[in-house]
Amino acid sequence: MVSENQYDFIIVGSGIAGLYTAIKAYEFNKKVKIITKSTLQECNTKYAQGGIAAAIDPMDSFEKHFQDTMNAGAGLCDPESVRILITNAVDRISDLINYGVPFDTINGVISLGMEGAHSFPRVLHAGGDSTGSLIEKKMSDKIAETDCDISENCFVSEILVENNKAKGVTIYNKNKKEMETIYGANVVLATGGAGELFYYNTTPEVATGDGVSLAYNAGAAISDMEFFQFHPTALKHPKSVPFLISEAVRGEGAILRNTRMEPFMKSYHSMAELAPRDIVSRAIINEMKKTSSDHVYLDLTNIPKQRVISRFPTIYKTCSAIGIDITTDLIPIAPAAHYMIGGIKTNIWGETTIQNLYACGEVASTGVHGANRLASNSLLEGLVFGKRIVERAIIGYKWSNQNYAYDKIVSVTDKNIKLEVENKPSIESLQKLMWENVSIIRNGTGLSDASGKISQWIQMITEESQNYMSSQLYHMLNVAYLISSSALLRTESRGAHYREDYPETSEKWVRHTTIKKN
């Protein structure tokens, strides 16, 4: 079926980046199509607990926020992108307030939390630890006031490209059980991250990296996929799936203890519990090995009870449901996959290497996060670059192709690696492979094995089905291959990428990995 409608903007994804971009495009009286593979509100944004970072305190400054972001990025942040992010923060926060987002206040002043690697409390939150949920609700309400055309339960299988120019998308409508083609002047990918590639993760089931796979298949450049952030503190309990325990908990003073009840973070970093996430995650893994345990503990008992309940109502309620009173009991935790730092390569206007194809939010690699995202910069990034995409597309700045130098990547399957594929590919087998070989601590052997097996699985899927591009598993395998191959290529440890066979940071790797199909 071919849609008769021609849209000004086709926006794929319904998190903060997608909905905000749609709202801004609609304000210019543009015809907007929003496509989401689940319901409008099911996305990563909904589950964001910590908040959104902005230097709004008079004692804080843009420069401090800028420097904290650059430091966390371990030498790979783009200074221009970071400065754009920081200096536009206050205006984007104002937009959220105008949409009705009820940020928490104390005596009429917005309350600011402290999180890891920040030098100053600058994280705005709403409903305690319900920030993402409330933002998603208010933005969904705002969309409901518009005439934006919304297609729920629709899976995008392909981006239509002609002469290196995006012209629309092909989707599978799950409700109608049929394929549709939708045309538009601009296609914006705001599909979120890929936490579901890993067996232990903090993300919803929709976070499968589709946008990266779609852009890669269309011929766009993909950058820095080896950098994947693992959140240090996810609930580890037999009665619960991994559940994010916000970094803001440590910002309030919670202590990490091993199973011997020993606090340990001061021996790993001067910032202790507020060290960058990659350092905290590896410290926890090391303590788990030392104590032969599958978890450590997060101790909130030094924080006043009412403060804990009012500041972290969702965490309190979730833990209470499985018999843990976080005001008196220790929380068993372990790291879990959380945030995709790399993604579709864009410039400072959200443009990809394909004309009229844009990307923003977690799916994009804007240069803001470098090798390790600073906590609570992600929601802000979706807002800042979503608005810039609309400005770029509508005001009519001239698009110019971006030229990158590509490293030649030798296919790992050509290097005498012959793996016996013992079972057919499945989401669960992929998740286990990625967790075992491509997670927090990596090495060349594990990465080679993972890339080789994933490559064979991709070949199996493409040979067995003519409709493989409509397969969720195919797109997950595609993204997993990009992550494992990029991690194999970067022979150093930096930020969220740690290789035990190359444990040092190398000056020769102060550069980005960029992959393009063929």
Sign of CA dihedral 516, 364, 46, 111: positive
Catalytic residue among 83, 92, 122, 277: 277
Question: Model confidence at 4, in pLDDT bands (50, 70, 90)?
Answer: low
Note the pLDDT tens digit of each residue in 295-337.
999 999 999 999 999 999 999 999 999 999 999 999 999 999 9
> For residue 122, what pLDDT band results from cuts at 50, 70 and 90?
very high
Q: What is the 8-class DSSP label of residue 158?
A: E
Q: What is the mean pLDDT of the chain?
A: 91
Q: What is the pLDDT of residue 42?
A: 78
Share of the chain above pLDDT 70, in %: 94
The answer to whether residue 122 is catalytic is no
The predicted model gives 140-149 an average pLDDT of 94
Q: Sign (positive/negative) of CA torsion 103, 104, 106, 111?
A: negative
Query: What does the buried/exposed string (b/e) look like for 84-109 if buried means 16 or more CB atoms within 10 Å of the residue's CB?
Result: bbbebbeebbebbeebebebbeeeee
| Verdict on whether the full-model pTM lies above 0.95 | no
String of DSSP letters for 26-60: HHTT--EEEE-SS-TT-SSGGG--S-EE---STT-
Per-residue pLDDT at 358? 98
Q: Which CATH number does 228-338 carry?
A: 3.90.700.10
pLDDT single digits (tens) 433-476: 999 999 999 999 999 999 999 999 999 999 888 888 889 999 99
Q: What is the pLDDT of residues 238-248, one digit of tens each?
A: 999 889 999 88
Q: Taking residues 37-57, report their average pLDDT.
A: 84
How many residues comprise the chain?
518
Contact 431, 387 (CB under 8 A): no
Query: pLDDT confidence of 497, banded at 50, 70, 90?
Result: very high
Sorting pLDDT into bands at 50, 70 and 90, what band is 349?
very high
Strand 178-189 to strand 222-223: parallel, antiparallel, or no bridges (unpaired)? unpaired
Give residue 398's pLDDT.
53
- pLDDT confidence of residue 5: 61
